[in-house]
Amino acid sequence: MGVWTFTSVFSFDMKLSRWGTNEDLIIQILAHRNAEQRKLIRQTYAEAYGEDLLKALDKELSNDFERLILLWTLEPAERDAYLANEATKKWTSSNQVLMEIACTRSANQLLHARQAYHARFKKSLEEDVAHHTTGDFRKLLLPLVSSYRYEGDEVNLTLAKSEAKILHEKISGKAYNDEDLIRILATRSKAQINATLNHYKNEYGNDINKDLKADPKDEFLALLRATVKCLVRPEKYFEKVLRLAINKRGTDEGALTRVVATRAEIDLKIIAEEYQKRSSVPLDHAIGKDTHGDYEKMLLALLGHEA
């Protein structure tokens, strides 16, 4: 069945709300459509009924299932803008969502997110980050969200050696908010940063994140460590987010929803493999144990989603 037929079925079903919303059909249609197809479904629905599909869904759905459908149906840049705006308005020093978006997206994806932010909120992401964050957090986050990194694989080994020395000197001196340390993390290409950090470990004996654990309770150091992990091993960062979200003390549905919705078409299968290595439990089993109903069904459908 083609996307247009799916759109017609979905639209017809949504308009017959007096019969009750068919959540299984929503999952069947949306969970198995890629970003371009979801965009076409949303456009066709608007043309047919004069209403944004997301507004129609908002009337029919609720709770965590609604949020997962919302994030999944938004275009990727629009979704990042939405999450970033939410993070600025609810910002605390332990909130890593802004850094996550800035460091795990490509240069063009981050640029498109900033453009989507302009279009949706009539202001810039940079001004909101500057307004809502303070101190060292602002000093790090503002250049991160403003960045447009080089995407190539070329690496300057001489530069890697010299900047590894700078990083070691600053960290040894506990100058964690130093301008050069932040400049390196916020502007260098991911390939260059990886080379620098490899040299750091080879020359000074420790992984940089081990040296950034001087005070495990320091939230700025936690953000620096997460920044490094997002830049060089994003799958390990997201695995940890999921592991902390699904635990014996209760489920953090916000983090679980965000990771599944934003990574399903990118690297969720790799993240799931990392999760099983670390936890000895398949991610789908962990999700099935901690969630239920339509929310669980949609999460599991996205976990098996083919990009």
* CA 92 vs CA 106, 145, 223, 303: distances in Å: 25, 17, 12, 29
293 annotated as a binding-site residue: no
296 annotated as a binding-site residue: yes
Mean pLDDT of 109-127: 98
* Residue 1: per-residue pLDDT: 44
* Residue 60: per-residue pLDDT: 84
* Residue 2: per-residue pLDDT: 54
Report which of 124, 138, 135 is spatially closest to residue 84, judged by C-alpha positions. Answer: 124
Q: Is the pLDDT of residue 13 over 60?
A: no
Q: Is the pLDDT of residue 305 over 90?
A: no
Q: Tell me how far apart the alpha carbons of residues 42 and 35 are, in angstroms, rounded to a whole number.
A: 11
Q: Is the pLDDT of residue 306 over 50?
A: no
pLDDT digits (tens, 9 = 90+) for 223-233: 999 999 999 99
Q: Tell me how far apart the alpha carbons of residues 306 and 261 are, in angstroms, rounded to a whole number.
A: 13
User: CA dihedral defined by 292, 281, 28, 49, rounded to 10 degrees?
Assistant: 70
* Residue 154: per-residue pLDDT: 97
Structure tokens at 44: 């066709």
Sign, CA torsion 168/171/176/178: negative
* CA 228 vs CA 17, 206, 278: distances in Å: 48, 14, 19
Q: Tell me how far apart the alpha carbons of residues 301 and 277 are, in angstroms, rounded to a whole number.
A: 21
50 annotated as a binding-site residue: no
* Residue 93: per-residue pLDDT: 86
* Residue 20: per-residue pLDDT: 52
291 annotated as a binding-site residue: yes
* Residue 12: per-residue pLDDT: 40
| Architecture (CATH level 2) of domain 2-61 | Orthogonal Bundle (1.10)
pLDDT digits (tens, 9 = 90+) for 128-173: 999 999 999 999 999 999 999 999 999 999 999 999 999 999 999 9
Mean pLDDT of 193-221: 96
Task: Find the range with the poorest average confidence among 41-55, 100-114, 171-185, 190-204.
Answer: 41-55
Q: Is the pLDDT of residue 15 over 70?
A: no
Structure tokens at 200: 């750091």
pLDDT digits (tens, 9 = 90+) for 24-67: 989 999 999 999 999 999 999 999 889 999 998 888 888 999 99
* Residue 216: per-residue pLDDT: 85
* Residue 94: per-residue pLDDT: 86
